[in-house]
Amino acid sequence: MATTDLFIKNMVCPRCIKVVTTTLAAQQLDVKDIQLGKVTVEGAVSEKQLHRLSEALQQEGFLLIDDKKQQLIAGIKSIIVQAVHHSELDEMKENFSTLLAGKLQKDYHYLSNLFSETEGTTIEQYIIQQKIERVKELLVYNELSLSEISYKLGYSSVAHLSAQFKKVTGLTPSKFKQLKAPERIPLDKI
């Protein structure tokens, strides 16, 4: 049986997958595979179904993407979010450019140029933003030392992490930890 791929913006965590799965089930669409940013359903999806699904997803904070370039951008973001927030970067065997080119089956230079043109920032800057948000999260949890966080996120040293953190946030990691209500940015807003 044929399948249909649907691309969904703002899926950034396992909870998002659960909400999208429930939304698709409510629309009587049979999910074959679901990942951050992409869902494969059994059979064809009619325009009427797409419209209803789009409205239902919007109510949950997601957007159905039909433009091919926007689908690629969403794919890039999903792969980066998955790697930074749901994997161990110290165990990553390849760099981000190889990972993105391989998973999306596109030349990295094309992906990089498209991302920069569309998002107004580079893939590298987007990765840094995601890593800094992950550092903030780990600092708030207070379960790991800065050295452990540095290693876990694939930084070459604590000094490198600290310098990058200060450049992005204006604060050192220790100053950030001292804040009563540390400011974090939702992943789908980066």
**What's the number of domains the chain is made of?**
3
What confidence score (pLDDT) does residue 188 get? 66
Same domain, residue pair 85 and 131: no
Q: Within this chain, do residues 146 and 162 fall inside the same structural domain, yes or no? A: yes
Total length of the chain = 190
pTM (predicted TM-score)? 0.79
| Domain shared by 45 and 95, yes or no | no
**Long-range residue pairs from 80-88, CB within 8 A, at least 24 positions apart, any chain:** 80/123, 80/126, 80/127, 80/130, 81/12, 81/13, 81/36, 81/130, 81/187, 82/35, 82/36, 84/127, 84/130, 84/131, 84/134, 84/153, 85/12, 85/13, 85/130, 85/134, 85/187, 86/13, 86/14, 88/152
Does residue 88 share a domain with residue 40?
no
Q: Are residues 132 and 155 in the same domain?
A: yes
- pLDDT recorded at residue 90: 67
CATH number assigned to the domain comprising residue 180: 1.10.10.60
Return the pLDDT at 87: 82
- Over the chain (190 residues), the average pLDDT of each successive run of 10 is 89 90 93 91 91 94 90 93 84 87 95 95 96 94 92 92 96 89 72
Q: The domain containing residue 45 runs over which residues?
A: 3-66
Pair (73, 117) in one structural domain: yes
